[in-house]
């Protein structure tokens, strides 16, 4: 359902959408049932001439069923939702998948910009060919990425809507997570934690590129980074 409004561009986005859709349809179903019963009761027991109102205590077994049976049915739906929500939460937030060709990027939030540290052509961070960009994150489609997220000053929150990814950035902590892009294109990165007067002016862009595009970009900017470090 959500993918009709916002593209799905990561391996985990579909699972997260499934949980939201599951909640929407189950809750929507019981909302509709409750409203139909409510209006049926209004019409069925409306005021009539010659018929006195009754005071219902809710103590009779036949009356209690109107509470206990719906509660049990809703509880069963809750268990169903919790099962899938915990499974997706574990896969997205607790597990850290690995792959032979994975890469790691470092993300630093500050008032009011994002700084992204990309591994250069050698594929490793903290080497002379690292590529540092402000408000631009470049990744390769269908490749697993780990990220190291931190903040320089106050709380921020790293959000990529097309990934269905949101992770708070906390000063003094390095938070590790992952994503695997599945769709090429240029998409929004947002800060979703109010971080000061410039919070609304803190957008960035993620560029998801084909292997050829990404290799070309990396080769070009890796040479620039090395030249800046060595002075050549």
For 38-97, write each residue's pLDDT tens digit: 999 888 888 888 878 777 777 888 878 888 888 898 899 999 899 999 999 999 988 899
pLDDT confidence tier of residue 146, bands split at 50, 70 and 90: very high
Tokens 């631009």 locate to 136
Average pLDDT of the segment spanning 173-202: 94
Q: How far apart are CA 166 and CA 170, in angstroms?
A: 13
> What was the pLDDT predicted at 1?
58
pLDDT of residue 207: 97
Task: Write out the two tokens for 171.
Answer: 């000063």
Counting residues of the chain whose pLDDT is more than 90, the rounded percentage is 62
Q: Which two tokens stand for residue 9?
A: 């561009």
Q: What is the overall mean pLDDT for the chain?
A: 89
Q: What pLDDT is stored for residue 60 in this prediction?
A: 82
155-170 average pLDDT score: 95
Mean pLDDT of 130-147: 95
Q: Which of 158, 156, 190, 194 is nearest to 172 (CA)?
A: 156
Size of the chain, expressed as the number of residues it contains: 232
């Amino acid at each position: 359902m959500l993918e009709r409004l916002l593209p799905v561009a990561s391996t985990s986005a579909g699972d997260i959408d499934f949980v939201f859709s599951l909640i929407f349809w189950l809750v929507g179903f019981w909302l509709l049932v409750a409203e139909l019963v409510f209006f049926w009761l209004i019409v069925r027991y409306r005021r009539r001439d010659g018929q006195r109102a009754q005071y219902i205590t809710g103590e009779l077994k036949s009356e209690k069923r109107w509470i206990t049976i719906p509660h049990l049915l809703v509880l069963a739906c809750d268990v169903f939702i919790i099962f899938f929500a915990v499974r997706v939460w574990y896969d997205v937030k607790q597990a850290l998948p690995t792959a032979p060709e994975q890469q790691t990027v470092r993300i630093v939030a500050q008032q009011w910009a994002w700084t992204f540290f990309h591994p250069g052509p050698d594929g490793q961070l903290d080497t002379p060919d690292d590529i540092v960009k402000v408000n631009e994150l470049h990744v390769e489609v269908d490749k697993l990425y780990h990220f190291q997220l931190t903040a320089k000053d106050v709380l921020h929150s790293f959000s990529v809507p097309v990934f269905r990814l949101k992770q708070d950035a906390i000063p003094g902590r390095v938070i590790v997570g992952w994503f695997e892009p599945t769709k090429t294109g240029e998409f929004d990165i947002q800060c979703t934690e109010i971080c000061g007067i410039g919070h609304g002016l803190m957008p960035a862009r993620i560029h998801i590129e084909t292997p050829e595009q990404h290799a070309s970009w990396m080769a070009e900017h890796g040479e620039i980074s090395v030249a800046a470090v060595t002075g050549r």
